[in-house]
Structure 1
Amino acid sequence: MALRIPKAELPLEVRENMVQQLGAVPENVEVTWHSPKVAQDDMEFGGEVGAWDAADASLKSFAQMAVPALVG
């Protein structure tokens, strides 16, 4: 599948850090880098979401009630 937006050239230090951390530079970063502020905010948000490790304890009870309702 061809990209509609051409990839932007990342600064060398950013490219090296990505390769070191991820093994490669993700295509979405190369495409969003046309607006570096947007790309950096997107990476920061992704990092914060990746740090989530559990759902809120109050949601657990809702899930436990929903399963029997779905199963019947």
Structure 2
Amino acid sequence: MTTPSGRRPKHLASSPFKPAVEPVVEVFEVGDRVTHDIYGLGQVTHVDSAAVTADFGSKTVRIAHPYPKLHHL
């Protein structure tokens, strides 16, 4: 649930529910070695605000934010 401004409401200490976990946003830089669950080992060749481009040897792939299945080595 979000408010009209797009923010989540404040978690109350008396609430029986656990607070929402903040997602960890990975930051990639050009030259970073990465691994992808489908494409394997690669290296970041380009970074912009919406996606990361990585060279996996036989294929160059642009992966959009939040970078599913892409991890730092």
Q: Same fold (TM over 0.5)?
A: no
- Give 1 or 2: higher strand fraction: 2
TM-score range, shorter chain: under 0.3
Q: Name the larger-Rg structure.
A: 1
Q: TM-score, normalised by structure 1?
A: 0.25
